[in-house]
Chain A
Amino acid sequence: MMARPQRWDAPFGPEMSEDDVAELMSEHPISKINAHKFPEQTPLTGILRNDTRIINYQPGDLVVRSGDYGNSAFLVLEGRLRVVIAPELPRDLLGRQSVAKKSTLTALAQLWTNRRTPEVRSYRQDEATGVREGRDRATAVVFLQDVPAVLDQHQTAVLSEGALFGELAALGRIPRTASVFAETSARLLEIRWQGLREIRKYDEGFRRAIDERYRENALKVALHKIPEFSGLDETALQEVANSVLFETHGGFDWYISFQKMRGAGKQGAAHEPVIARQGDYPDGVLMVRAGFARVSVKLGNGDRTVSYIGAGDHFAMAELYDSWASGETHTLQASLTALGYVDLLRVPAPILEKYVFPTMGGRPRSPVERATTRTLTDDSLLEWAVNDRFINGTQAMLIDLDRCVRCDDCVRACASTHGGNPRFVRHGRTFDHWMVANACMHCADPVCMIGCPTGAIHRTEQGGMVVINDKTCIGCGTCANSCPYDNIRLVDIRDVSGNVLLDEDSQRPIQKATKCDLCATNPGGPACVRACPHDALRRVNFQGGAVFGGASG
């Protein structure tokens, strides 16, 4: 017997005290929130106690970095911060590496410069400038060493007490759009997304403020990118934007439950949060802002996956169009379920009928119609890839096992370009004669980037590859634990003599997170692909559905 696990078993900030909560309740803007609107099981004080933590920053400390993925928002309690407007801070100041290709000669020199022992680091650990250790490894921060120079050279805006920032990225699972640093010593309340969602849910003012901010800043741009809305004039687009409703489905930390469910063999639409059910009447079109959703139809005793939709795709447009065109109500032809976390925009049907459908060139195609021309076998690869979430991959390592002679030339090529240790394992989940190997897929929704305390794991400016800055990685393992595909590994690093480097305090090996970087610094692209003598290994983009015969979107 054991107590059923509860949501607040693991508080965000274990050191939060009742006094802290009481103090917060009197701080603006929390004092404006009507605590009586919250249900008994999730009181506002409980949210503050369990879903928030107080962090102190020193002058120059970076709080959020442009391009980072984060799952929390920040409320300024004390002090002054600056948000960098233009130009953006240089990448090295943000603790990121500048990816520069080696010359052919430098690349060739690896033949004799690679050490006999792997994972040797020739730089000194104290060269990893710009990282300030926190009370634990998860709260380490990157700091700016010359704040006056940054203020001179960059246009910034002040964020002072009571300002809330980072909430759109936290709720929408989209990258941070600007960097924020502490100008003076500052005390911030960090609110994790679960708490933010609850506050937004129960407090009308808070919700309106967040939604309005998104509506003002990004919604119209997002709508305009969708072909069906691109023909609208400014007034109509504003009307559509004003009517949009915001929804989230599934868990932000879906990778944890996903791994458990997969281990238990519970996969498929039946085990996912239902967003819309086949046969129901649609009241609006659903558009994905972030995450993925599965489109499935009932078949026999199960559900057949006919498609999946991701950011920028929509659902139920065809049914609503048919209803508008024929004057009869059409029900949903398929169900929509959340693949992990999905953030949606719902445009009500009357708005579509008034502004959107009249400007559309014709009836949009339903994904269900595509399925009628395909057999179950045709779509079995799609079903597998959706179940295993490989649809997240933009550079997945796909191996044709009917061609692969298991020679490991790919592994050796990877090792020779990465200091003697390969950055992937030629093993993974298989379907028919395909294997998706354990190599970083450079995901469209990179959950590994959420929570990196120093921003060491980041996307490159060009190409958008997910890479790790070895110098600012503190080996906390957050990324490796978050990766749902087990594609990040922590390695013990060594000095030039081949000795494992030990932490002075704990005497335990110092570790670094490593993963495939698509040979970003090597000339000629991924060495694994070039090294395969049988063309068995490819890097494929599961986005867009080309691999599945146009199944996505």
Chain B
Amino acid sequence: MRSVRSEHLIYWVVLVAIFAVLTIDIRWSADSLGEPLRLTGYLLYGVMFLLAFLNVRKRLSMIPLGRASFWLLLHSLGGVFAIALYWLHAPILWPSGVYEQAIAALVYGVTATGMFGYVIQRVYPARLTQTGLEVIYERIPGEIARIRSDAEAMVIDCTTTTGSDTLARHYFETFDWYFRRPRFAFSYLFGGQRGLQWVHQQWHTVGRYLSAQESAFLDRLTELGYEKTRLDVHYALQSAMKSWLLVHVPLSAALLVMATWHLILVHVYAL
């Protein structure tokens, strides 16, 4: 896993310091501040908008708004700051009101998906590199289709050349399923190697019934199986790295809407 870069440590230290000062100030000066909730609420609302600006920055890449990596760092720091501020603002883990519970659910949902994204973006790239293969996500289905076509042609060739259909039968009972689409995604997401083990198992299962000539075909088929495994790893991990945002971004948008409505309600009824 890629660790936090040393030059970024200073930002994390500053964040902790700011939060510590803020907490102490709010706790000790509650009387003089009057409404510490208003301060933490507005601050939290502002931080949430700052976090949302990362998405805006991505769409404004044509103008010099600084490096996206710096924005992502701010986003990560801001995310941690926001959850801490939230606990300062609503000092219980799970509120009692329905509306507040909805906001809390969104806060935790956004935080959890954000942390999930943060972690997988540090773990998965290196695991993709370790496959020894680099493939563009959109090309994976085409590559799988190519492998399947090669495999089928080879099995037919085996039957024609050797006059035996043992390998062909085994292919249509097992490998055909494997080559149809990406498989064993969960295993790859959690660092397993189910595909490799599965391909090896099929090789082992049928190998004892084949002649030397057929075994050569099986070896080539197994090689295609291993190639497909690498594609499956890419498909699983790249899918995860793309799709977590499909949860994180809508939840964030919903949270902003709910927080805005919360602010309006507070101003109308409580202040």
Contact = CB atoms under 8 A, between A and B. Distances in A.
A251 to B, nearest CB: 31
Contacts of A529: 67
Given A406-B137, A406-B241, A413 B125 contact: no
Interface in A270-316: none
Given A430-B134, A527-B62, A531-B61, A405 B68 contact: no
B128 A406 contact: yes
Which label, helix, strand, loop or mixed, suits the secondary structure of the B interface? helix
A416 B121 CA distance: 24
Contact of B134 (A108, A111, A401, A403): A401
A427 B136 contact: yes
Given A104-B64, A531-B58, A427 B129 contact: no
Given A407-B241, A427-B136, A532-B69, A110 B126 contact: no
A530 B128 contact: no
- 7 residue pairs, one from A and one from B, having the closest CB atoms: A524-B64, A413-B61, A533-B72, A401-B129, A533-B68, A535-B69, A402-B126
B12 interface: no
Contact of A403 (B59, B125, B241): B125
B167 to A, nearest CB: 30
A406 B128 CA distance: 10
A534 B69 contact: yes
Given A401-B128, A402-B125, A405-B124, A533 B69 contact: yes
A406 B245 CA distance: 13
A426 interface: yes
Interface string B155-190: 000000000000000000000000000000000000
B136 A426 contact: yes
Contacts of B64: 104, 523-525, 530
Interface string A81-120: 0000000000000000000000010011011000000000
B242 interface: yes
A433 interface: yes
Interface string B108-131: 000000000000010011101100
Interface in B15-74: 58-69, 71-72
Given A111-B60, A416-B62, A405 B67 contact: no
B59 A530 contact: no
Contacts of B146: none
Interface residues of A, number: 36
A412 interface: yes
A105 to B, nearest CB: 9
A530 B68 contact: yes
A468 to B, nearest CB: 20
Given A405-B124, A426-B136, A435-B134, A417 B61 contact: yes
B67 A530 contact: yes
Contacts, number: 87
B2 interface: yes
B243 to A, nearest CB: 12
Given A406-B137, A409-B68, A433-B126, 15 more contacts: A111-B59, A111-B60, A405-B121, A405-B241, A413-B61, A416-B61, A417-B61, A417-B62, A435-B134, A523-B64, A524-B63, A527-B61, A530-B65, A533-B72, A534-B125
B222 interface: no
A416 B69 CA distance: 19
A55 interface: no
24 contacts: A104-B64, A107-B62, A108-B60, A108-B62, A108-B63, A401-B125, A401-B129, A402-B125, A405-B124, A405-B125, A406-B238, A406-B241, A407-B241, A433-B129, A523-B64, A524-B63, A524-B64, A530-B61, A530-B66, A530-B67, A531-B58, A531-B61, A533-B69, A534-B125
Contacts of A107: 62-63
Contacts of B121: 405, 534
A409 B128 CA distance: 18
Contacts of B61: 409, 412-413, 416-417, 527, 530-531
A527 B128 CA distance: 25
A145 B260 CA distance: 64
Nearest to A525: B64
Interface centre among A402, A413, A522, A533, by most chain B C-beta atoms within 10 angstroms, is A533
Interface string A526-542: 01011111111000000
B63 A523 contact: yes
Interface string B210-251: 000000000000000000000000000010011000000000
Interface residues of B, number: 27
A530 B68 CA distance: 6
Contacts of B59: 111, 416
A164 interface: no
A140 interface: no
Nearest to B132: A430
Contacts of B134: 401, 427, 430, 435
B130 to A, nearest CB: 9
Contacts of B241: 405-407
Contact of A402 (B65, B72, B129, B136): B129
A404 B127 CA distance: 11
Contacts of A527: 61-62
Contacts of A413: 61-62
Contact of A533 (B60, B71, B128, B129): B71
B136 A404 contact: no
Contacts of B2: 402-403
Interface in B62-96: 62-69, 71-72
Contacts of A405: 121, 124-125, 241
Nearest to A430: B134
A533 B2 CA distance: 14
Contacts of B65: 530
B215 to A, nearest CB: 27
Interface in A429-450: 430, 432-433, 435
Nearest to B69: A535
A525 B2 CA distance: 28
Contacts of B71: 533
Interface in A357-401: 401
A107 B137 CA distance: 30
Contact of B62 (A409, A435, A522): A522
Contacts of A104: 63-64
A433 B72 CA distance: 22
B67 A535 contact: yes
Contacts of A523: 63-64
A397 to B, nearest CB: 14
Nearest to A400: B125
A485 B220 CA distance: 31
Contacts of B69: 532-535
Interface centre among B63, B69, B121, B124, by most chain A C-beta atoms within 10 angstroms, is B63
A417 B62 CA distance: 5
A151 to B, nearest CB: 43
A290 to B, nearest CB: 34
Interface centre among A104, A405, A413, A416, by most chain B C-beta atoms within 10 angstroms, is A405
B128 A111 contact: no
